[in-house]
Structure 1
Amino acid sequence: MRYIKPEPYYEGLPPFNVSGSPFNVVPIHNYPELMKDTCALINAEWPRSETARMRSLEASCDTLPCSLVLTTEGMCRVIAHLKLSPITSKKKACFVESVVVDKRHRGQGFGKLIMKFAEDYCRVVLDLKTIYLSTIDQDGFYERIGYEYCAPVTMYGPRHCELPSLQNAKKKYMKKVL
């Protein structure tokens, strides 16, 4: 197996891609060749126009927003994705969204792996203190990895209010202090 040296700003993070491990977690903006496959993975779960999805992925950067992908060794297949987004009213926090694992690889610990890496990236690289998220039906998973229920949080600042909808009524908000 080939060892892929982590990017310099990963120093201090747990080595998820150490020798012998067939997986890597990387910011997508450093590997634009993975964007099409990542777009297809996300759209398989939440359909949206390819153009809009690609624009969102192309906005990824070293700060926020940042899309992280879990890939196989050699970067040949995207297994999971998540996006870290800023919360305008909370400078030391972010909102994790679009967490998705390829259907063929669910139940194998990849969701936990990419979430753990995202937490470390937020703490070490971005110097954040808290991660927030919302979920409709995966709160059991997030509880098992240390998230707790919290009051709703909006990414858009105090003047934004979400339109009432059945989907929003089912959302559960959670957070983890890093």
Structure 2
Amino acid sequence: MISFSYIHNDNKYIEELIKLLNSQWPRSEYSRKASIEKSNDNFPFYLIMKLKNDELTVEETEEVIGCLTISTVLNNDKDSNVSLLLENVLIKSKYRGKGYGKLLMIEGHKIMKKKGYKISYLSTNDKQEFYKTFGYIECDPISTSNFSSCISSNSSGSSSISKEKNEDNIDDSEKVSNLLRIFGGNSKLKKTNTNLVWMKLNLE
């Protein structure tokens, strides 16, 4: 059985979430935890997807098999007060190709609508067709969010957007930028990756 929760309301799964994220986008545990601890009811937040697993211990009957983040858009255009940014969509490798990515996306959209938002943005390198199945269309780039992400593609069946970079492979200026992102820097720089495609969904 599948269930969903916010990581800040289910913090016993923080270490498991860190392992899941680092399996796709390696990063220091300290930086990862600092980012996760920003999660809150009013954005930004990490949504985790759990699966009841009879093979686990009595104390831990559910396994974290997926996650995503939703954050506010900080650009100053006409949509900024009604739009959100969907990021870090990830399904654990052994559960990919089973439809869990679709369920995760549906839950994310349901939360956005419940909170009264009308537009969802995301970006991807190569999973446009997957997102089009939910009604996303290509659009102009937007400014960064509270999680202020760097984008990377996900090898799973359901594409992914990540703020994670391997910090061992970037220069000092990028490390400073990443620290600002982790701790709430509100950069308004647009993404410059030429392979990056921005997409938009009307949630109404």
In the alignment, is residue 83 of structure 1 matched against residue 73 of structure 2?
A: no
Q: Is the 8 A contact 2:71 2:145 kept in 1?
A: no
Aligned pairs (5 A) from 1:1-178: 22-73=1-52, 76-89=62-75, 90-124=80-114, 126-155=115-144, 160-162=188-190, 164=192, 168-178=193-203
- Deviation of residue 88 (structure 1)? 1.5
How far apart, in 1, do the equivalents of 2:62 and 2:104 lie?
Answer: 17
Partner amino acid, structure 2, of 1:148: I
Tell me the TM-score normalized by structure 1.
0.80
Relative to structure 1, the CA distance from residue 163 to residue 96 in structure 2 (aligned partners, 3 Å threshold; closer, same or farther) is closer
More helix by share: 1
State the identity %. Answer: 30
Q: Is the 8 A contact 2:141 2:190 kept in 1?
A: no
- Identify the range of structure 1 (69-78 vs 47-56) with the bigger mean alpha-carbon deviation: 69-78
Secondary structure of 2:68's aligned partner: strand
Relative to structure 1, the CA distance from residue 50 to residue 140 in structure 2 (aligned partners, 3 Å threshold; closer, same or farther) is same
- Deviation of residue 76 (structure 1)? 2.0
How far apart, in 2, do the equivalents of 1:63 and 1:169 lie?
Answer: 32
How far apart, in 1, do the equivalents of 2:47 and 2:145 lie?
Answer: 21
Q: How many corresponding residue pairs?
A: 153
CA deviation digits over 1:49-71, x for unaligned, max 9?
Answer: 11111111111111110110110
Which residues of structure 1 form unaligned runs of 5+?
Answer: 1-21
Larger relative contact order (C-alpha < 8 A, sep ≥ 6)?
A: 2
Over 4 Å off, 4+ runs: 156-159
Tell me the TM-score normalized by structure 2.
0.70
Q: Is the 8 A contact 1:24 1:75 kept in 2?
A: no
CA deviation digits over 1:32-60, x for unaligned, max 9?
Answer: 01111111111111111111111111111
- Deviation of residue 138 (structure 1)? 1.4
Relative to structure 1, the CA distance from residue 50 to residue 25 in structure 2 (aligned partners, 3 Å threshold; closer, same or farther) is same
